Amino acid sequence: MAKKNSKGLYAATLVLFLAGVGYLMVTGISDNSVYFLNVSEALAMPADKLRSARLFGTVRGDGISKLNDKPGVRFQLEDKDNSSETLWVVFEGAVPDTFKAGAEVIVEGGIEQNSGQTFKAETLMTKCPSKYQKENRT
C-alpha cells in the first residue's frame, strides 16, 4: 500500500513541477518580447503597442542635441527606406563614439506616454562603420 501512495506523490510532484516550468516560460516570453520595427512601422502602430520596442533607423543630420543636465542625446531617427518618416528619440546615458549623423542605429525602449511621439530609449547601439569590417580579398 505504501508503494501505491508513493507513485501518486511522484505523479503530483511531477505535475506541479511541469506547471511551474510552464508558468515561468509563458511569463518570461511575454515579459521579454519586444517588437523589432523600422520607423515607418512604428509610426503606423498605436502608441500603447510601443511601450516596449526595438527600432532600427538612421540618425538624421539636423536636430542632434546633447541633454543639458545629464549624459545623453536627443535626435531624430529616420526610416532607412523613407527619409520623410522620422521619430524623436531621447537617450539618457553614455553615447557610443560611433554615434553621428547618418549612422545606422538600433534603439530599445518605448514611447513616452506624456510626450506623444517621443521614443525614450533605454539602449542605443550603433552599427559598426565599414572601416572596421574585414575587406574582401580575392
**Cα dihedral sign for 29, 30, 31, 37?**
positive
As a whole number, mean pLDDT of residues 66-80 equals 91
The strand pairing partners of 108, in sequence order, are: 54, 123
Which of 91, 93, 94, 103 lies closest to 128, judged by CA? 103
What distance, in Å, lies between the first and last C-alpha atoms of the chain?
77
Give the Cα separation of 135 and 65 in Å (integer).
34
Give the model's pLDDT for residue 122: 93
User: Is 0.85 surpassed by the pTM of this model?
Assistant: no
3-state secondary structure of 70: coil
The neighbour count for residue 124, using CB atoms within 10 Å, is 22
46-55 pLDDT per residue, tens = 877 788 889 9
The yes-or-no verdict on residue 59 having pLDDT over 90 is yes
Give the model's pLDDT for residue 4: 61
